[in-house]
Structure 1
Amino acid sequence: MANDTIEQIEDAANETSLAVAKNTLTPDLAEKREEANALIKRYALLGTASGLIPVFGLDVAASTALQTKMIKDLADIYEFDIDDQILRTVITTGVTALVGRVLTAAAGSLAQTISPLKMFVNGATQAAVSGFLTLEVGTLYQSQMELGQNPADITLMSIADHIIAQVKEGKWDPSKLSLTSQLGAIVK
Structure 2
Amino acid sequence: MNKIDKKLHFLLGKVKEECKKVKCLSDYELKNKTLEFKERLNNGETTDDILPEAFAVCCEADYRVLGMFPYDVQILGGIALHLCYLCEMNTGEGKTLTATMPLYLNGLTGKSSILVTANEYLAIRDAEEMGQVYKFLGLSVEAGVKRDTNEKLDNDSKKDVYAADIVYTTHGSLGFDYLLNNLVQSKEDRFMRDFY
More helix by share: 1
Q: Which has the higher strand share?
A: 2
TM-score (norm 1): 0.32
Give the structure-2-normalised TM-score: 0.31
Higher relative contact order (CA 8 A, sep 6+): 1
